[in-house]
Amino acid sequence: MTKFTVIDLFSGAGGLSKGFLDAGFEVLLGIDNDKAALSTFELNHDGAKALSLDLADPKTFQEIKRIIGDKNLDVIVAGPPCQGFSLSGPRNFDDERNKLYLAVIETVQIFKPKAFVIENVPGMATLYKGEIKNEILRRFEKLGYNIECKLLCAADYGVPQVRKRLIFMGIRKDIGIPKFPDAIFNPESYVSCRDAIDDLPSRENEIGLDVDKYIMPPKTDYQRVMRANCDVLRNHVGTKHTKLVRDTIALVPEGGNYKDLPDGWGQSRKFNEAWTRYDGNKPSKTIDTGHRNHFHYKYNRVPTVRENARLQSFPDDFVFLGTKTQQYRQVGNAVPPLLGFSIANELIKILEKEPK
């Protein structure tokens, strides 16, 4: 089988490209401006380079070409933040504040890969009544790509998390048309939080070590996949809460949130995700970049970085570097690797049918 190549723009720790790596792609490069995330990327992507570069700088493209060398660039994946979109509206798509998306478009224009995948938050589909989304579709169509976008839910692809993301897929017109992967799971068969993490040490009364041991064998198929041949447990460090915080969490029932607290409790946080305790029999809610609002379904604490990583479908041998706060951010910002894996496998089928 041909080993297709991929680079990852706005890569973060590289969840999307990890999925492509596991599907058999050769990951050449990750680009981001988060130094800790780039260290994590380079450690976990089998020899891929990780660079802190400004995609708005023309010299960046020369550096990408230097690293790729004589290899063909088959696929570009990217997760540009959408915060840059000008508040003045879609008519100013070329506004300087939109440079993150414009940089992805320019990179595709320069390298003309066989395909590209762009990930963003669901709200992108309806921003300015869909005009931003439609402008993105128009621009890539003009560059010679058949392009479609679709809202995908990570739980449909084996991720123990109800995380929805808007995915753009473009295929060069001389190669084929986009096709998104079919769902593998449904709400009745979703992988639950308990399925994902209940083999890990409790960390209820101890902080634990960054390099530790498992205390029991895996209990579920998902746990077996996440552990694979890993015999060392990393990034499973607990958080020391104040007694008030622990007592407040203890009052929230499994699957509940701040609305379930008695009067006078949890007054400092009253918003949709505040004091949310996961339901062990369901997938988690969307993992965020912090670690203050979601709590373990059983223990009176926030999930550890490793538990969040499991809920994002990062295998246990994927090690996160940096401070604990940086690690939580890397996990929360990532595309779940299992979602990336399903997209990558669908892309392989399309690319292998390329007319010779």
Query: In the predicted model, what is the mean pLDDT of the chain?
Result: 92
Q: Where are the domains of the chain?
A: 5-185+335-351
- Alpha carbon distance 175, 264 (integer Å): 62
Query: Per residue, what are the HEC states of 117-180?
Result: EEEECHHHHCHHHHHHHHHHHHHHHHCCEEEEEEEEEHHHHCCCECCEEEEEEEEECCCCCCCC
Residue 88: pLDDT above 60?
A: no
185-243 pLDDT, tens digit each:
999 999 999 999 999 999 988 899 889 999 999 999 999 999 998 999 999 999 999 99
Instruction: Give the Cβ contact number of residue 173 at 10 Å.
Output: 13
Q: Are strands 164-172 and 115-120 parallel, antiparallel or unpaired?
A: antiparallel
Dihedral of alpha carbons 105, 107, 111, 116, sign: negative
Is the pLDDT confidence value at 324 over 90? Answer: yes
Mind giving me the DSSP string for 260-311? Answer: GSPTTSSTT--STTTTEEPPTTS-B----SSSSSEE-SSSSSPPPHHHHHHH
Residue 74 predicted with pLDDT over 60:
yes
Please state, in angstroms and rounded to a whole number, the distance separating the CA atoms of residues 314 and 306.
9
d(CA 78, CA 234): 27
Mean pLDDT calculated for residue range 81-106: 73
Q: Kindly provide the b/e burial profile for residues 180-208, where b requires at least 16 CB atoms within 10 angstroms of the residue's own CB.
A: ebeeebeeeebbbbbbbbbbbbebeeeeb
pLDDT band for 145, please (50, 70, 90 cuts). very high
d(CA 248, CA 7): 45
Residues 179 and 177: their CA atoms lie apart, in Å, by 7
Q: Considering 82, 149, 193, 230, which one is annotated as catalytic?
A: 82
In this prediction, residue 91 carries a pLDDT of 63
Q: What pLDDT is stored for residue 229 in this prediction? A: 84
Confidence tier at 89 by pLDDT (50, 70, 90): low
Q: pLDDT by residue (tens digit) across 281-299?
A: 999 999 988 767 899 999 9
- Give the N- to C-terminal CA distance of the chain in Å, as an integer: 15
> How far apart, in whole angstroms, are the C-alpha atoms of residue 294 and residue 288?
9
| 230 a catalytic residue | no
What value, to the nearest 5°, has the Cα angle with vertex 169 and ends 341 and 53?
80
In our burial notation (b when 16+ CB lie closer than 10 A, e otherwise), range 282-294 reads bbbbbbbeebebb
Q: Which CATH number fits domain 5-185+335-351: 1.10.1610.10, 2.60.220.10, 3.40.50.10860, 3.40.50.150?
A: 3.40.50.150
DSSP string, 308-349: HHHHTT--TT----S-HHHHHHHHHHSPPHHHHHHHHHHHHH
What is the residue type of 263?
D
Q: Are 115 and 74 in contact (CB under 8 A)?
A: yes
Token representation of residue 56: 């708005």
Q: Choose the weakest-confidence range: 61-70, 121-130, 199-208, 263-272.
A: 263-272
Contact status, residue 311 vs residue 196, Cβ threshold 8 Å: yes
Asked if residue 113 lies in contact with residue 164, where contact means CB atoms within 8 angstroms, the answer is: no
Question: Could you give the CA distance from residue 93 to residue 79 in angstroms, rounded to a whole number?
Answer: 18
pTM, 2 dp: 0.95
